[in-house]
Amino acid sequence: MFSMLNMRTARPSPPEDLTARALIRDAAIVHFARDGFRKTSLRAIATTAGVSASLVVHHFGSKERLRAECDEFVIGNMLATAHDKASPAGLQAVIQSYLANPAEYEVDVAYLSRAISEETAAGQNFVDTIVDETEAIIRAGIADGSMNPSSDPRAEAVLITMTSLAMMTMTSHLARALGFEGRGLGQETMRRLALPSVELYTHGLYTDETVLNITRNALAVTPEPASVPGAEPMPAREYSRREDTR
Whole-number pLDDT of residue 206:
93
Whole-number pLDDT of residue 151:
93
Please report whether residue 184 resides in a domain.
Answer: yes
Domain count for the chain: 1
Please report whether residue 24 resides in a domain.
Answer: no
Whole-number pLDDT of residue 154:
96
DSSP string, the chain: -TTGGG----SSPPGGG-SHHHHHHHHHHHHHHHH-TTT--HHHHHHHHTS-HHHHHHHHSSHHHHHHHHHHHHHHHHHHHHHHTTSHHHHHHHHHHHHH-GGGGHHHHHHHHHHHHTT-HHHHHHHHHHHHHHHHHHHHHHHHTSS---S-HHHHHHHHHHHHHHHHHTHHHHHHHTT-TT--S-HHHHHHHHHHHHHHHHH-S-SSSHHHHHHHHHHHTSPPPS--TT--PPPHHHHHHHHHT-
Please report whether residue 120 resides in a domain.
Answer: no
Please report whether residue 202 resides in a domain.
Answer: yes
Please report whether residue 32 resides in a domain.
Answer: no
Query: Which domain covers residue 216, as residue numbers?
Result: 170-223
Please report whether residue 81 resides in a domain.
Answer: no
pLDDT < 50 stretches in the chain: 1-17, 235-237, 239-246
Please report whether residue 211 resides in a domain.
Answer: yes
